[in-house]
Structure 1
Amino acid sequence: MVMLENKVAVVTGSSRGIGKAIAERYATRGAHVVVNYTSHKAAAEAIVRSVEDRKGQAIAVQADVSKVDEVHCLFETALQHFGRIDIVVVNAGLELTGLPVTDVTEAQFDRLFNTNTKGAFFTMQAAARHVADGGRIIYIGSSTTGYPRAGYAIHGGSKMAPLYLVQVLAQEVGPRGITVNAILPTATAGAGLHTHVTEDAPIRKFMAEFSPMGRMGTPEDVANVAEFFASDLASFVSGQHLLVTGGGLA
């Protein structure tokens, strides 16, 4: 079993979905967790209680990652409370699909790119500045970046630049023993667009036919990989983009 005893993890966008699964998994493994949220305060506080029930320590911190000053406040609060940061999971993001390029508005573009691209960049920048030597930076992207599809331009496009940053940052912080990796999940039941997916939803039928394993992903599937990347087992794995798709292309 991977142990993260007394490690401090900042997980952005962790009031629900994949971020929630990762925060709770890290707590189960002994880590202290900074639960970040933008607007779902009650959900974030519920996760703090869940972490405490696992005998861990946690705080909930409101911060909109699309605003650089709030990213700085997130990291400052984490450092003030726990004294160090060992793991940063860059998970916060927005999704907008089914929209042809010709229909995208400037407001829609700015909203997604401000969070998914700008927010990810400056969160990883802050992580590079503040993560302790030997630490971990993990970006949660999307498998759609490797599988272009009609209607996904703004969604997949906004998640492309952070993948390049992962590889660059891995080189820049590698001398400090810090690893930087990306996890690219497939359509995930209980997260993002599929937070409330029903058993008879078309996406389930599509994934049953498309995926060799015949199902959608789950937040726990992603948490499994995030646990590995955060551990000593992954100390020589860096600059990588790992698909979590059950053998499917996306």
Structure 2
Amino acid sequence: MLSDLLAGAVADAEQRRAERPLSIVEAAAASQSPAIDALSVLAPADRVKIIAEVKRASPSRGTLASITDPAALAVSYEFGGASAISVLTEGRKFLGTLADLEQVRAAVNIPVLRKDFIGLPYQVFEARAAGADMVLLIVAALDQATLVSLHDLVRQLGMTALVETHSAEEVDRAVSIGASLVGVNARDLSTFQLDQNLFGRLADRIPSGVVRVAESAVKTAADVAHYRSDGADIVLVGEALVTSDPIRTLSEFLAV
């Protein structure tokens, strides 16, 4: 599944590049206001922080919410206390677009993450051109040389990479490139099975000074508390927010 998602995202990016050459996207990225320092915003604190996700659908659950106004949803997330907004821009399975990210960036004052299957420098420039402050890099989807080069490019453009892992070996790969924001996804992107205890097993491999993000398998405040007790600084939440009253749900999650 992961290889198919990456291949589709890269193919779609190549199509966009044919219509909008890299030179134009680079110029658009250069003209953007500087990215927000996401590491400062997401620095560990006495209470857990939430990255709230704009997510219409997923391969495992199908359509979750129509989200006709992603900016309005993001504003409600910010009002509810989210520290950052994740915007899914993958179109085939998650029904997202870069326009969603642009609309969200224009509406909120907190960091915005482009969550997609990134395999090309073009996609990183697209993210900055659309106003992203953060970019997701999935270790399992990239060989080490590509991971290093994309991570370096994200930094060069003033953004922060959320480097996502699913195993001890992947955490070690993320740490070896100097990742400052490391996520552990409870969902295996090859099988889409969930393991909520994976974060706890891997957290100690993430060095002090690196921000630890727990991703997926969050439905209730108890799930957030579980991740927090295992050492998560940040919890990324999507489905539980788009299928509920987001402000009320955020209030419950942030109270743990």
TM beyond 0.5:
no
Which gives a bigger RCO, structure 1 or 2 (Cα 8 Å, sep 6+)? Answer: 2
Q: TM-score by structure 1 length?
A: 0.37
- Relative to the length of structure 2, the TM-score reads 0.37
